[in-house]
Amino acid sequence: MFILRAFIVFFKFVRSEWKVFAAMTVGVIISAFAVSHFTIPYKFPDLGVSGIAVLTNYAFGISPVWVIFLGNLLLFIWGWKYLSPRFICFSSYSVILFSLLLPVVSAIEMDLPEDRFLAAVISGVIKGVSGAFVLYSGGSGGGTDIIAVALRKRYGVEVGSFSVAINLVILGLSLGVVGMHSTIYGIVALYVYGVVLDNTMHSFDKRKQAFIITNIPNDVSSYIMHTFRRGATLLHGEGGFTGQDRPVVMTLLDKRQVALLKDYLRRNDPKAFVSISDATEVLGEGFKSWKSL
């Protein structure tokens, strides 16, 4: 009976979070592909716990799967105190899936570039994109990502910036194992990874925040809600010179919607005043879920 109840609860959880599972699965597959085809074949140092696993593989022939699993298990135990059970659950899923996929993906044969610099750049790009998929969906790839997300929640530290700092230490340890040339290529891959990760994360969250002072606030609000399916908030303002009530419409849109809104105002209220700025992160219904934090 207990097993049946547990299965039902798990099934309902998966059904309600299937988009998260799908995004994380895609991210993990891409990450396993990057490690198996653009890291290990070139003897590049890797990042985080995976980096330690790769080094032990180069030096002692130990399978990376075991080091990744045991290293992440310890970090999950530590992270339980600082992060939500949901985050730990999804991160565990990504680590287990990565451990299972790595030997499978490694068996796929493909033509690899001879230029090691090009391989390092490709590795950084692929890992940055895959890391953003996993983090944005509400989990992590495990390892140092657990520490990075905990620091972001408490101190607002950028995930990519922290990853660069902590992984420089791991790259320093790599000098004695893979040599200077491979370590330099690893630094290139690390830099590309950090830039791509932060920019991809910001592109997921970025919206345009618009403040509109108009003579037809109700019409503008209705246009936004019915045309874009976005919310609009009416703020009570007062003209500093006239002292008259001037309602202000506040909304969050994407770039295409902003262009359409400006065209609507040009046609219907050319005397409207509009201020548009970047909102780098938006949380709430219709945008990023609070569950992902």
For 235, the domain range is 207-292
Quick check: 27 and 33 in contact, CB under 8 A? Answer: no
pLDDT score at 119: 92
Whether residues 40 and 77 fall in one domain = yes
Whether residues 164 and 83 fall in one domain = yes
pLDDT score at 154: 67
Contacts of 184 (CB under 8 A, 6+ apart): none
Find the Cα–Cα–Cα–Cα dihedral 63, 65, 67, 68, rounded to 10°: 150
User: Angle at CA 249, nearest 5°, toward 247 and 253?
Assistant: 175
Alpha-carbon distances, residue 120 vs 57, 113, 115, 127, 133 (angstroms): 19, 10, 9, 11, 20
* Phi, psi (degrees; rounded to nearest 5) at 62: -75, 140
How much is the mean pLDDT over the chain?
80
Residue 285 has pLDDT above 80, yes or no: no
Strands ordered across the beta sheet of 207-213? 232-235, 248-253, 207-213, 273-279
Write the CATH number for 253: 3.30.70.120
Residue among 61, 68, 62 nearest 32 (CA)? 68
Domain count across the chain:
2
Whole-angstrom distance, CA of residue 261 vs CA of residue 50 = 47
Domain ends where: 173, 205, 237?
A: 205
pLDDT score at 125: 92
Whole-angstrom distance, CA of residue 163 vs CA of residue 246 = 47
* Phi, psi (degrees; rounded to nearest 5) at 288: -70, 135
Kindly indicate the confidence band of residue 10, based on its pLDDT and cuts at 50, 70 and 90: low
Residue 288 has pLDDT above 60, yes or no: no
Kindly indicate the confidence band of residue 291, based on its pLDDT and cuts at 50, 70 and 90: low
pLDDT score at 257: 85
Kindly indicate the confidence band of residue 117, based on its pLDDT and cuts at 50, 70 and 90: very high
Radius of gyration of the chain from its Cα atoms, rounded to whole angstroms:
24
Whether residues 152 and 236 fall in one domain = no
Residue 109 burial (CB count, 10 A) = 7
Note the residue count of the chain. 293
Tokens representing 173 are: 């340890």
Per DSSP, the three-state class of 246 is coil
Domain ends where: 186, 205, 224?
A: 205
Residue 20 has pLDDT above 70, yes or no: yes
63-72, 99-108, 117-126, 129-138: the lowest-pLDDT one: 129-138
Whole-angstrom distance, CA of residue 25 vs CA of residue 120 = 23
Whether residues 51 and 139 fall in one domain = yes
Residue 223 burial (CB count, 10 A) = 18
DSSP letter string, 85-106: HHHHHHHHHHHHHHHHHHHHHH
Residue-wise pLDDT tens digits, 22-32: 888 888 898 88
Higher-pLDDT residue of 243 and 223 is 223
> In this prediction, what percent of the chain has a pLDDT beyond 70?
82
Domain ends where: 147, 171, 205?
A: 205
Whether residues 66 and 168 fall in one domain = yes
Residue among 191, 197, 183, 204 nearest 141 (CA)? 197
Whether residues 76 and 103 fall in one domain = yes
Kindly indicate the confidence band of residue 7, based on its pLDDT and cuts at 50, 70 and 90: low
Whether residues 133 and 66 fall in one domain = yes
Model's pTM, two decimal places? 0.65
Kindly indicate the confidence band of residue 4, based on its pLDDT and cuts at 50, 70 and 90: low
Kindly indicate the confidence band of residue 106, based on its pLDDT and cuts at 50, 70 and 90: confident
